Structure 1
Amino acid sequence: MTTDRISIALAQLDCAEGAVTANLDRVRTARAEAAARGADLVLCPEWTASGPPPDGGFAPALLDAVEEGVRALAAETADGGPALLIGAPWRQDGRTHGGLVLLDGGAVATLRFRHHRPEGAPFVAGPVPGPMSVRGVRLGVMAGADLESLDVAETLAESGAEILAVLDAEPFAPGGHDRRVQAAVVRVIECGLPLVRVNPAGGQGRRVFEGASFAIGADRSLRVQATAFEEHLVLTRWERDDDAWICAEGERIAPTEGAEALYRALTLRLAGHANKNGFAGAVVPLNGGLDGALSAALAVDALGAERVRVLLLPGPDSAADRLDDAVETAELLGCRCDRVAIEPALRAFDSMLAPIIAGGDADALDTGLRARVRAVTLATLAEGMAALAVTPADPPPGGFAAFAGVDAAAVRDLVRWRNAHSAPGLRGPAGRVVPARVGG
């Protein structure tokens, strides 16, 4: 069977690690929306069923749940609605693969496996895939990593693929979207085929995925561009012209770049970590500095002011103007501010330890002790409130580093951007969120 038209929906979903039932329910919701909009096929990202691969590998129970859930979802495609193409870890002959699974006609219709495998990955490499027939169109389906070298795309094109379909799950990195588009354009030029690429949108642990799925025509033009940093379903509509498939111009949302992209990525990462791990909210220590103020702004934009408490931990080293700046930061953000003086704890430690460590470097000991008391106080309060302790870097056990690895110049750029802008998905107030004396 052949066709002259096909409508392919790109569903950039926020799937959580190990949450198979919730992840597949997200697919069901996307499929229902796609059906209402006339789609024939819904493309979902790599690892949709399981969420991103866990550091410790796929447990047998998780693989069992994935296969059971995917087969149950496959049965639902007997209703005549859109076919589904999803990523899932998949066992075959006792080995775990990165599966690309077509669900159609009430069954698992076709399986392909990710070919390129990073060193140490918890799955094995599959053979170079051939095309799969979907509603009369021969799709060259591959995982995101398989697009980075020519062999997979070239084999698919030589085997009769008509449209390249890439199920991606590449974590955010500054400039990463441009690199993905350019890599896709290179393959389009080499193979002479149009391409669609779907990417997740959401945070999970240390990783965050920006979405920004797209379609590129065989003429290398960008035909469709989805929004970034939020779940979204975008439709691509195709018509056959002689032996080529043409993608109609559709929704095109300008990509997010620069400080805004990094800020939204950090916010989405924090929100994903807190929400997917069941934290009631966040506790952020402030000392009047720029790093703490940015951490608090990210927490409020991620979770909302009602779920964030800032914590002042004044001690002998605390300047009054810095504490005033911390209080002003909390007021600008609209979140609760609590003050816990650490001097009683310092005196107690001094009373306990002074007779033993007499003659040591008192200043160094005091500095180290103040830092440890603050860290223990933060961790204890966060645990008592079932909240996430958020610091710029080096969080206490169980805490979260809001922007570890971001250099000082980028921190200032992020603060300047946020004081002048807001963006979709940010839950904090519009306007200035870091005091002028702190952030300039």
Structure 2
Amino acid sequence: MTDSLKVGLAQLNPKVGDVSGNLAKVRAARAEAAKQGADLVLTTELVLAGYFPEDLVLKPAFQKACHEAVEALRADTRDGGPALFVATPWREDDKLYNAIVALDKGEIIGKRYKVDLPNYGVFDDKRVFTPGPMPGPLVYRGVRIGVPICEDVWTADVVECIAETGGEILLVPNASPYEVGKTDVRVQLGVQRVVESGLPFVYLNQVGGQDEVIYDGGSFALGADRRLKAKLASFREEVATVEFRRNGKGWECQPGPIAPELNSIESIYQAMVLGLRDYVNKTGFPSVVIGLSGGVDSALTAAVAADALGAARVHAIMMPSPYTSRESLEDAEACAKAIGIKYDTVSIEPAMKAFRAMLQPLFGNRKEDVTEENIQSRARGVTLMAVSNKLGGMVLTTGNKSEMAMGYATLYGDMNGGYNVLKDVYKTTVFELCKWRNRQGRVIPERILTKPPSAELRPDQKDSDSLPPYPVLDAILKGLIERDLDATALAAEGHDLATVNRVWRLLEGAEYKRRQAPPGVKITSRLISRERRYPIVNGFRG
């Protein structure tokens, strides 16, 4: 019986569907952990498939590929190196499980299946997986190790079962999505499970972007005394080893390095960078194209893009109209130069004149209105998509959450594109992010941060002509979206009832637009397109 157990934590960034690539990552992590003296290597949830594989996991050929990868890893463990607890889809008795398979000395020494399948927010596990039975611990070289999978530790039952059946250490593989403040929630959750079970606890979290969801890593270990013993970095891959030692009362985790915690604004910025980098690189685009308007949203998007991909892979295009101010032209160019990205100018005035002539027989003498404003936006959308088609870069849209919520965007215009890093970022947070980024090195001209926001689609236009002031709007939207409050409750908190009702109507009325918007990085507790699923045809008005 051993009195010491060294566990290698493989905080990896898998790609959904790339079984061979993910297998290579696991092998490399095992090799690195072996150098660190690990006895056992733990992987993150569904690492061989990538998380979350959605309906891809139902394909028999995909299941077969994952099974073959497990077999390859099983053969690897004949080398006398570390054992491997690898997470994978696993079909058995004609049922598909979210599983962890324990491999040692060329053998499968045990399997455990996820019990609690989440079906809320971004999660959809119940559509594809069968819940497993309540698990006891796996026995590895005389140590009884509990391996509850992700959601299994968010309630007490599974850990209680492991403790009651002799578990000595808890190793938890996760794919826990990022949102602001989530790290503290996870640690407090771990502390609660330690208090209930008396067992040391490792929370191993995936890192990387998958479509709209970001996994931020930040894996950690807690001792049986409930203290934080080790913590891995956020937003990057890492392999680290923690040691457990047997004492008179059981097992205790030895202290290790603790990575610094990021503040909320820095973590949001890093989430946007990681989300964009992984989306572009994993989908195979060589570069990105951005309409740089001289406004704050496109400036922040350009800064994030350059930080994510490198300035050489970012192409900014200013598309002025007769309503574009001299200040915006100057600010866009100054921003592009400060960031160091390629910058071109393409006037949309010829397109505006062409559409006016094309449509005059139908429109007659009708007064110009929002139609002509939207034509400008759509001319810009066509321009950016043409550049994308010809030169290969993916178009980034630049609308923030406040605008997307209100429908303050043009369908097939500024909503054209492949990805939106600001999709879940409120306008007030956009300004905070710009100020934070400038403290790291000034890339956004000060005038962009101080001038009144404007779409510049008509003379002297301001966002405040159509929307409440952003601090007011964002506070109301957070109440409606994240907290599901009604107008009366928000009015009781001090908001003007007429303003709340107006915001509510605009929010509900823009659902059809949001259904057609590109994906974007999840930042808050409720991504408006994926976690707030309202019907487009909706007669309820509160």
TM-score band w.r.t. shorter chain: over 0.9
| SS of 1:362 mapped into structure 2 | coil
CA contact (8 A) 1:71 1:107 kept: no
Structure 1 position 288, deviation (Å): 0.5
Where does residue 497 of structure 2 map in the other structure?
A: none
Where does residue 53 of structure 2 map in the other structure?
A: 54
CA contact (8 A) 2:397 2:416 kept: no
**Within 1, Cα distance between the matches of 2:71 and 2:331?**
56
CA contact (8 A) 1:229 1:265 kept: yes
Among 429, 441, 452, the residue aligned to 1:410 = 429
Q: Which has the higher strand share?
A: 1
**Within 2, Cα distance between the matches of 1:146 and 1:125?**
11
May I ask how many residue pairs the two structures share in their alignment? 430
Among 279, 291, 316, the residue aligned to 2:297 = 291
The yes-or-no answer on 1:82 pairing with 2:82 is yes
CA contact (8 A) 2:56 2:62 kept: no
Where does residue 8 of structure 1 map in the other structure?
A: 7
Where does residue 20 of structure 1 map in the other structure?
A: 19
The yes-or-no answer on 1:71 pairing with 2:78 is no
Alignment-mate amino acid for residue 5 of structure 2: I
CA contact (8 A) 1:379 1:396 kept: no
Deviations 1:211-268 (A, max 9, x none): 1111100000100011111001111011111241121111111222210011101110
**Within 1, Cα distance between the matches of 2:263 and 2:169?**
28
Structure 1 position 362, deviation (Å): 1.7
Deviations 1:66-125 (A, max 9, x none): 111121121111100111112111111122111111121113321110000123422121
| SS of 2:369 mapped into structure 1 | helix
Which moves more between the two structures, 62-71 or 175-184?
62-71
**How do residues 2-401 of structure 1 correspond to structure 2 at under 5 angstroms?**
2-58=1-57, 59-119=59-119, 120-121=124-125, 122-393=128-399, 396=415, 399-401=418-420
**Within 2, Cα distance between the matches of 1:33 and 1:148?**
30
| SS of 1:223 mapped into structure 2 | strand
Alignment-mate amino acid for residue 237 of structure 1: E
| SS of 2:444 mapped into structure 1 | coil
**Within 1, Cα distance between the matches of 2:415 and 2:100?**
39
Among 443, 446, 468, the residue aligned to 1:436 = 446
Structure 1 position 398, deviation (Å): 5.1
**Within 1, Cα distance between the matches of 2:415 and 2:65?**
34
Deviations 1:384-433 (A, max 9, x none): 22222112237655510111121111111111111112xxxxxxxxx111
Structure 1 runs not aligned, ≥5 long:
422-430
CA contact (8 A) 2:397 2:417 kept: no
Deviations 1:153-208 (A, max 9, x none): 00000001100110010110101011000000000001000001100111111011
| SS of 1:96 mapped into structure 2 | strand
CA contact (8 A) 1:40 1:135 kept: no
Alignment-mate amino acid for residue 178 of structure 2: F
| SS of 1:330 mapped into structure 2 | helix
Structure 1 position 136, deviation (Å): 2.5
Where does residue 424 of structure 1 map in the other structure?
A: none
Structure 1 position 57, deviation (Å): 4.5
CA contact (8 A) 1:379 1:399 kept: no
| SS of 2:23 mapped into structure 1 | helix
Query: How high is the sequence identity, in percent, across the aligned residues?
Result: 40
Which moves more between the two structures, 271-280 or 407-416?
407-416
**Within 1, Cα distance between the matches of 2:322 and 2:54?**
42
Structure 1 position 366, deviation (Å): 1.4
| SS of 1:18 mapped into structure 2 | coil
Structure 1 position 383, deviation (Å): 2.7
**Within 1, Cα distance between the matches of 2:348 and 2:54?**
38
Alignment-mate amino acid for residue 12 of structure 1: Q
- TM-score (norm: length of structure 1): 0.95
**Within 1, Cα distance between the matches of 2:89 and 2:390?**
37
Which moves more between the two structures, 68-77 or 145-154?
68-77
User: Could you say if the C-alpha distance between residues 42 and 361 of structure 1 is closer, same or farther in structure 2, counting changes exceeding 3 Å?
Assistant: farther
CA contact (8 A) 2:288 2:395 kept: yes
Which moves more between the two structures, 113-122 or 395-404?
395-404
Alignment-mate amino acid for residue 51 of structure 1: G
